[in-house]
């Protein structure tokens, strides 16, 4: 008699991608919020509405304005070293110029000096600059101080109640701090304020799934798709919300299958997990032959005992007894291997987590000592190398950080997040060509990595490859990436191509993103 696979209503568990698996901004660890932060690292001497409302100290002499204007011109031309020198000179004569402190903070950040940048961001906040708390939050996140970074986002929301970035960064920080329910509440508050943003909807939907609120997830995911119809995580969230709602009708399952297939077409990360979800849904819909295709594909990408167990059941359901026996044999082998590896992996994971906690509490030197000791025992751990790179970068040891992240890339060439971090580090340390190469490699693996499109677009705009910049900016926006700097850069690129109407729309989007009218 053929063995029947359990339908969705009776299967014991369902392994859908967590927020950290699905969303590129959900890379584990505090410093990995660099993924989100990079969407605003596009260059240019722009200012937010908050900066414009902050009084600028009057010049002490007739020569001071020309120094400040020269600094602005240096920023516009991309000469960060000259801009730093001029802003420092200006502040020596005007120490209470909040806007200049903020601009110097951002300039230092772009040169890979987050600690010095933080000093000026804090001074700008003390002087009443409304945009400074969010800048401080970004820098604290880069330095690994997640809890302090979150508190800064609270002040940023108080200063700028309609700042999308303040709510989004706060949500991401709480999520990475393991405070999912609070992260959900912050995202909810943003949406209740009418801050419509595809990334906020995406995070809200995925967090709603995490806390067991499928109807809220469905509502947010659908709203997000109205803004970013090609965001694969939102298609995934719709599918999972439909399944989690308990509606196992033929129509509901069919719609969920379509959504998951669309997510795969759009290049969603964690494709093997999505393929397993599709297989389960297809089996529930009594379509085992189609389910088998996804199970075979998943087994080739990431062979696990669970996948081969499902393969065995499906092959048996189709009457393929020989194939079923082979799958059971492989399942047994993998289960035994897993049992042996689990203890070592658990120990490695615990130690990595402890080191991450040290980094988050800003004990970076201690964290570096421990990660180096760990790597001496686990030289082939890509995760350890990546964590080492983040700690080194926070310590402003940029060259070593790049070496470490490149080692992680070598150990795990299929991990787009490592290639993205390489691109980000190179960008922040003044190697746009190397950064562009790494970012293109990341996008070849994960075309849905919106932040990589945004960062690459900024590099291409600076190199005057305006057509390519527009393509990447457009893709970033389609994937739900939104920040004032992104929209302004996109607007400039469109204007350079003579597409003035589209440019104007991006400038309006920039105003909305920063809470303007």
Of 382, 355, 358, 357, the closest CA to residue 371 belongs to 355
Q: How far apart are the first and last CA of the chain?
A: 68
Separation between Cα atoms, residue 235 and residue 239, nearest integer Å: 6
Separation between Cα atoms, residue 294 and residue 50, nearest integer Å: 50
Per-residue pLDDT reduced to its tens digit, 358-405: 888 888 888 898 899 888 888 888 999 999 999 999 888 988 999 999
Distance of CA 41 to the CA centre of its chain: 13
* pLDDT on residue 43: 42
Q: Which range has the worst mean pLDDT, 107-121, 300-314, 341-355?
A: 341-355
Question: Nearest 5°: phi and psi at 433?
Answer: -65, -45
Separation between Cα atoms, residue 394 and residue 356, nearest integer Å: 12
Per-residue pLDDT reduced to its tens digit, 308-331: 988 998 999 899 999 999 999 998
Distance of CA 393 to the CA centre of its chain: 18
Within 8 A by CB and 6+ apart from 80, the residues are 74, 107, 110, 111, 430
Distance of CA 156 to the CA centre of its chain: 20
* pLDDT on residue 32: 38
Per-residue pLDDT reduced to its tens digit, 79-125: 889 999 999 999 999 999 999 999 999 999 888 788 888 889 999 99
- Contact (CB, 8 A) for 473 and 462: no
Separation between Cα atoms, residue 322 and residue 32, nearest integer Å: 46
Dump the DSSP string for 335-363: HHHHHHHHHHHHHHHHHHHHHHHHHHTT-
Tokens of 390: 């983040």
> What stretch of H or E contains 231?
none
pTM score = 0.61
* pLDDT on residue 343: 58
Of 136, 319, 298, 285, the closest CA to residue 310 belongs to 298
Separation between Cα atoms, residue 91 and residue 404, nearest integer Å: 37
Separation between Cα atoms, residue 448 and residue 435, nearest integer Å: 18
Distance of CA 419 to the CA centre of its chain: 13
Secondary structure tally for the chain: helices H, strands E: 28, 0
- Contact (CB, 8 A) for 125 and 132: yes
Tell me which range, 24-38, 47-61, 348-362, is most confidently predicted by mean pLDDT: 348-362
pLDDT at 514 over 80: no
Residue 26 — pLDDT band, cuts 50, 70, 90?
A: very low
Rounded to the nearest integer, the mean pLDDT of the chain is 83
Provide the 10 A C-beta neighbour count for residue 11: 12
Residue 284 — pLDDT band, cuts 50, 70, 90?
A: confident
- Contact (CB, 8 A) for 76 and 45: yes
Q: Which range has the worst mean pLDDT, 141-145, 282-286, 370-374?
A: 141-145
Question: Nearest 5°: phi and psi at 383?
Answer: -65, -40
Distances, alpha carbon 506 to alpha carbons 445, 470, 484, in Å: 28, 12, 9
Of 479, 473, 480, 469, the closest CA to residue 506 belongs to 473
Within 8 A by CB and 6+ apart from 210, the residues are 18, 19, 180, 184
* pLDDT on residue 325: 92
């Amino acid at each position: 008699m053929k063995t029947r696979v359990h339908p969705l209503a009776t299967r014991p568990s369902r392994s859908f991608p967590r927020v950290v698996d699905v969303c590129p901004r959900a890379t584990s660890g505090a410093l990995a919020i660099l993924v989100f932060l990079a969407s605003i690292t596009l260059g240019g001497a722009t200012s937010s509405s908050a900066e414009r409302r902050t009084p600028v100290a009057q010049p002490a002499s007739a020569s001071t304005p020309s120094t400040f204007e020269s600094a602005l011109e240096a920023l516009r031309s991309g000469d960060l070293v000259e801009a730093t020198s001029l802003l420092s000179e200006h502040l020596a004569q005007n120490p209470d110029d909040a806007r200049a402190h903020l601009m110097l903070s951002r300039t230092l950040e772009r040169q890979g000096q987050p600690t010095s940048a933080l000093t000026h961001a804090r001074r700008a906040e003390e002087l009443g600059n409304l945009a400074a708390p969010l800048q401080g939050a970004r820098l604290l996140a880069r330095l690994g101080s997640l809890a302090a970074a979150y508190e800064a986002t609270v002040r940023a929301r108080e200063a700028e109640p309609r700042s999308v970035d303040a709510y989004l960064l706060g949500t991401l920080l709480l999520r990475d701090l393991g405070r999912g329910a609070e992260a959900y509440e912050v995202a909810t508050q943003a949406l209740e304020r009418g801050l419509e943003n595809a990334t906020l909807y995406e995070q809200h939907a995925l967090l709603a799934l995490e806390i067991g609120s499928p109807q809220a997830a469905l509502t947010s995911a659908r709203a997000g798709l109205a803004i970013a119809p090609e965001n694969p995580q939102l298609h995934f969230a719709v599918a999972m919300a439909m399944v989690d709602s308990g509606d196992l009708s033929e129509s509901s399952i069919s719609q969920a299958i379509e959504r998951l297939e669309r997510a795969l077409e759009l290049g969603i990360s964690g494709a093997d997990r999505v393929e397993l979800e599709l297989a389960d849904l297809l089996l529930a819909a009594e379509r085992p032959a189609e389910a088998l295709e996804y199970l075979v594909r998943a087994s080739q990408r990431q062979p696990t005992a669970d996948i081969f167990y499902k393969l065995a059941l499906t092959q048996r359901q189709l009457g393929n007894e020989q194939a079923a026996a082979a799958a059971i044999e492989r399942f047994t082998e993998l289960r035994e291997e897993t049992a042996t590896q689990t203890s070592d992996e658990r120990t490695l994971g615990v130690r990595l987590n402890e080191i991450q906690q040290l980094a988050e509490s800003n004990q970076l030197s201690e964290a570096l000592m421990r990660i180096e000791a760990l790597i001496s025992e686990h030289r082939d751990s890509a995760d350890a190398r990546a964590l080492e790179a983040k700690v080194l970068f926070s310590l402003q040891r940029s060259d070593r950080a790049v070496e470490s992240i490149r080692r992680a890339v070598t150990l795990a060439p299929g991990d787009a997040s490592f290639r993205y971090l390489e691109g980000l580090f190179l960008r922040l340390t003044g190697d746009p060509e190397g950064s562009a190469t790494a970012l293109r490699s990341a996008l070849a693996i994960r075309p849905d990595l919106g932040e990589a499109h945004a960062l690459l677009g900024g590099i291409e705009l600076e190199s005057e490859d305006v057509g390519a910049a527009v393509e990447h900016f457009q893709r970033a926006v389609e994937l739900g990436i939104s920040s004032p700097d992104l929209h302004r850069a996109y607007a400039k690129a469109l204007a350079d191509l003579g597409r003035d109407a589209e440019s104007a729309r991006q400038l309006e989007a920039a105003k909305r993103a920063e809470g303007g009218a």
